[in-house]
Amino acid sequence: MFGREKIEYKTVDQVRTMRRAGLVVADALATVRSAVRPGMTTADLDALAAAVIGDAGATPSFLGYHGYPATLCVSVNDEVVHGIPGTRELLPGDVVSVDCGAIVDGWHGDSAFSFVLPEADAADVALVEATERALWAGIAALATGERLGDVGNAVEDSIEASAAADGVAYGIIEEYVGHGIGTSMHQPPDVLNYRTRERGPRLKPGMCLAIEPMVTRGERFTQVLEDDWTVVTDDGARAAHWEHSVAILEDGIWVLTAPDGGAAKLGELGVTIAPLDV
């Protein structure tokens, strides 16, 4: 999508502003996570997130983006990403991905998580956990790697390891990818979730990237529904999606949309974060 277009390198002050946006997004997602119950509609979740973002004095970034009509994307079961909140009631055992973006003083944050509602199928839980592990493996590669391609290698290796451990085959979506983020939600470079021959640009301080693996219990192929937004798996397999916005700084990385900056999850992987003072 972005080829060799120019990457926006951020100053430390700009990253501090992006952290503020990231924390608003984290707050909105945490509010949704603690409130969600079977019987709620996806529009109910959207209203909760909109209130948190509004109360923080921030702006939802999805609303109006290419005409997108909501604050969140809520994608259920075979929906991978870009599900539009509405009258759909969440049911026990549903696999739900919630994606949120916000703007503070012109700077963006973007993050998503997935979960399974109670009466969960163990295989759905395994999918969600495998996708989250792949997210953190990809983020860790920003600290330990040299080139952007190291992220895709790490995500794919993590998913393959989980598939072997879970005794299943997972599909990694290729038609949608992560992205640079800053004064716009989507900017160069593309961040692939799979291995390619391209090593990609060198990882450098000032880069801010949204890492977002999308993984299914079936094949990797997708379609877009009649609403022109909702991306579903071709084979009807359930999908999960996790995302964080991450800054690369002189001394290390900082997960802008994680309340703890990524300290806990990256610590498990032997990576120490390098947060700025705020």
Q: How far is the CB of 70 from ligand MF3 (least distance, A)?
A: 7
Cβ 95 vs Cβ 128: under 8 Å = yes
Q: How far is the CB of 110 from ligand MF3 (least distance, A)?
A: 5
Q: Per CB under 6 A, which region of 62-70, 142-150, 201-209, 263-271 contacts ligand MF3?
A: 62-70
Q: Per CB under 5 A, which region of 167-175, 204-212, 247-255, 267-275 contacts Co ion?
A: 204-212
- Residue 150 binding target from Co ion, ligand MF3, none, CB below 5 to 8 Å by type: none
Q: How far is the CB of 75 from ligand MF3 (least distance, A)?
A: 10
Assess 190 for contact with ligand MF3 (CB under 6 A).
no
Name every residue whose Cβ is closer than 8 Å to that of residue 13 and which is 6 or more positions away in sequence: none
Q: Per CB under 6 A, which region of 66-74, 133-141, 153-161, 267-275 contacts ligand MF3?
A: 66-74
Alpha helix stretches (DSSP H) within the chain: 12-35, 42-55, 122-144, 149-166, 263-268
Q: Which of residues 99-118 bind Co ion (CB under 5 A)?
A: 110
* Separation in Å, CA 212 to CA 52, 145, 177, 194: 23, 17, 7, 11
Q: How far is the CB of 145 from ligand MF3 (least distance, A)?
A: 21
- Residue 4 binding target from ligand MF3, Co ion, none, CB below 5 to 8 Å by type: none
Q: Which of residues 2-61 bind ligand MF3 (CB under 6 A)?
A: none
Rounded Cα gap, residues 82 and 101, in angstroms: 12
Cβ 98 vs Cβ 113: under 8 Å = yes
Is 243 annotated in a binding site? The answer is yes
Question: Strands 72-76 and 214-216: what pairing?
Answer: unpaired
Rounded Cα gap, residues 236 and 234, in angstroms: 6
Size of the site for ligand MF3 (CB under 6 A): 13
Read off φ and ψ for residue 47, nearest 5 degrees: -65, -40
* Separation in Å, CA 59 to CA 13, 47, 50, 71, 228: 20, 14, 9, 9, 24
Instruction: Among 94, 99, 124, 132, indicate the residue that binds ligand MF3 (CB under 6 A).
Output: 99
Assess 94 for contact with Co ion (CB under 5 A).
no
Nearest to 250, CA basis, from 97, 112, 143, 128: 143
Q: Per CB under 5 A, which region of 90-98, 130-138, 203-211, 246-254 contacts Co ion?
A: 203-211
Q: Which of residues 231-270 bind ligand MF3 (CB under 6 A)?
A: 243
DSSP letters for 102-127: EEETTEEEEEEEEEE-SS--HHHHHH
Assess 68 for contact with ligand MF3 (CB under 6 A).
yes
Q: Find the radius of gyration of the CA atoms of the chain.
A: 17
Contact residues: Co ion, CB under 5 A: 110, 210
Contact residues: ligand MF3, CB under 6 A: 62, 65-66, 68, 73, 82, 99, 101, 110, 186, 210, 212, 243
Pick out the residues of the known binding site for a divalent metal cation. Answer: 99, 110, 179, 212, 243
Pick out the residues of the known binding site for substrate. Answer: 82, 186
